Chains A and B, each alone.
Chain A
Amino acid sequence: MLYGPLGVSLAPYIRSSPTLSKLFTPVAKWYAGGSLYRQYGLLYDDLLIEERPEVQKALSRLTPREAYDRAFRIKRASQADVLHAPLPRDQWTKPEEDIRYLLPHVEAVEKETLERAKWDTLEVKRK
């Protein structure tokens, strides 16, 4: 696919500029809070589309504890969805708990894939 498993993101550009990040941080916080996944006890990385080889490999690299917690969160959220109601407020994900636990793994796998492609298509020049 064109943009890789993480999609297109302007975040690095916005983060690189102090003015832009000052402008966008409150909006981003409001948006994340408003997108309801935290009210169902999920983390942002639980929403990452997992039907891709890179993400599957990244998921296999989670520690057993991380994998267990992820499965638990997804099951709990599915049950809440069946009941058509968010979780009780004490079970909501706090903003500081919303860690990108899967992102570094996906990025590492993506880097490996790109590197493999680079080595596979390398043109060797004799000096």
Chain B
Amino acid sequence: MLASTRASVRLARRSFATAVDLAGIKLAAIDSNQPTVALTVLAKAGSRYQQKPGVAHALKNFAFKSTADRSALGTVRESELYGGVLSSTLTREHLALTAEFLRGDEEFFVKVLASVIASSKYYRHDYEELVLPAIQSEVNDLHRDPATLAVELAHALAFRNGLGASLFATAHTPVTATDVEQFAASAFAKGNFAHAFASSETRLRPEYRAHRVLRRGRTASSPTAARRPSSSASALLVCPPPELAALAAHLDPNPSVKWAKSASPILAGENISAQAVYLPYSDAALVGLLIQGPTAAGVREAGKAAVAALKGTSGVKAEELKSAVAKAKFRMAASADGRAGIIDVLGSKVLAGSSETSLDASIASLDKVTSTGFTKAVADLVKSKPTYVAIGDTQALPFADELGL
């Protein structure tokens, strides 16, 4: 295990090259000798910073529209000629504008990103003709995906404001183009964003995709939320305790080998899928269990078993904890492997003004997880008021107390 830890730490260290502060604009670069280059501009403009509900989602969809240099159509056609991909990604913390392109095309794509940040025209007709339909279709997708919807609702219940703000606008959003322009002015203010260069092949994906599941139909989800109000609102990088990562790894029923049965205390049934959700943010974390299935009765049984398993976690054996810690460590290291992960990890650290540009400290903190610390963290978690969300046939789905929460 020690050897594997060392390897993952070395990997994480190799990924990050430089992070500098150029007159208020933070810049980080990584060179991993890939044929494609990704350039990401990361702004502290996630949904937790929005002044009006849905404005961050609108700004995300307003990226790469008309600017002083070229129109929305021009951006699309010209980047097609270069063969690049432009994308924008919204998380609760950050808005990432990414350009992926072949080596040698840096000049054009840097200009595109610069013009998007510096001279986007937030036209009312662009908003109504291009942005609103995109928002609408993403909101429609959200309502067809109970897992994502459950995670959104759990955030709203657990955090209320700030992190509780939804990533998505509502179907009939009151946001106007002027609101988006104002939000963009604050989002792209000097010191509020960072550039990150990376070159690898993984595509950047929204973080919520991780929780997307294929099965649809009646679904119940019971994320148990750990609400951890921040003691110092201004200080970022208050890392969530490593015990929570270990707990999520311990509960996760996904086996390491396909078709094998994992040692997790939650075992999903035939048609019931269960997964552990662990979403760390800069000053809080959401840990929970997401249970989905085609019938309400099956989901009820699985929910009861999952809650019992969560409560029984305090009596975890030393070797179980060891393997959970190893799993959590691997996940953390692997998350920084892909391009999306690198930008997420590196960008948020650079934005927070941290000189440290690797996951070493976070991975090392997992080593310090002890049996007593773990038991205490789980006991605190079980004692606190949980967040419970049920989506689907709510007539038949259980209430929180019926599951023993």
User: Which residues does A use to contact B, with CB under 8 Å?
Assistant: 61, 63, 105, 108, 112, 115-116, 119, 122, 124
Contact = CB atoms under 8 A, between A and B. Distances in A.
B384 interface: no
Given A119-B73, A124-B81, 14 more contacts: A61-B124, A61-B125, A61-B128, A63-B124, A105-B125, A108-B125, A112-B71, A112-B73, A115-B71, A115-B73, A115-B74, A116-B73, A119-B74, A122-B77
A119 B71 CA distance: 12
What range describes how many residues of B lie at the interface? under 10
Interface string B66-104: 000001011001000100000000000000000000000
Contacts of A124: 81
A122 B76 CA distance: 14
A124 B128 CA distance: 32
Contacts of B125: 61, 105, 108
A61 B127 CA distance: 11
Interface of B: 71, 73-74, 77, 81, 124-125, 128
Contacts of B124: 61, 63
Contacts of A112: 71, 73
A115 B73 CA distance: 8
A34 B205 CA distance: 63
A110 B128 CA distance: 18
A112 B128 CA distance: 16
B99 to A, nearest CB: 19
A119 B74 CA distance: 8
B157 to A, nearest CB: 36
17 contacts: A61-B124, A61-B125, A61-B128, A63-B124, A105-B125, A108-B125, A112-B71, A112-B73, A115-B71, A115-B73, A115-B74, A116-B73, A119-B73, A119-B74, A119-B77, A122-B77, A124-B81
A99 B124 CA distance: 20
A78 B74 CA distance: 42
Nearest to A108: B125
A65 to B, nearest CB: 12
A45 B179 CA distance: 29
A88 to B, nearest CB: 35
Nearest to B76: A119
Contacts of A61: 124-125, 128
A108 B125 CA distance: 11
Nearest to B78: A119
Contacts of A63: 124
Contacts of A116: 73
Of B71, B73, B124, B125, most buried by chain A (CB within 10 Å of CB) is B125
A120 to B, nearest CB: 9
Contacts of A122: 77
A15 to B, nearest CB: 25
A113 to B, nearest CB: 10
Nearest to B74: A115
Contacts of B81: 124
Contacts of A119: 73-74, 77
A72 to B, nearest CB: 21
B122 to A, nearest CB: 14
A106 B74 CA distance: 19
A119 B78 CA distance: 9
Nearest to A63: B124
A119 B128 CA distance: 23
10 shortest interchain CB distances as A-B pairs: A119-B77, A61-B125, A116-B73, A115-B71, A115-B73, A124-B81, A119-B73, A115-B74, A112-B71, A112-B73
A13 B221 CA distance: 69
A61 B130 CA distance: 13
Most buried by A among B73, B124, B128: B73
Contacts of B71: 112, 115
Contacts of B73: 112, 115-116, 119
A26 to B, nearest CB: 37
A119 B76 CA distance: 10
A122 B77 CA distance: 10
A75 to B, nearest CB: 25
A109 to B, nearest CB: 9
A122 B80 CA distance: 12
A106 to B, nearest CB: 12
A112 B124 CA distance: 15
A119 B125 CA distance: 21
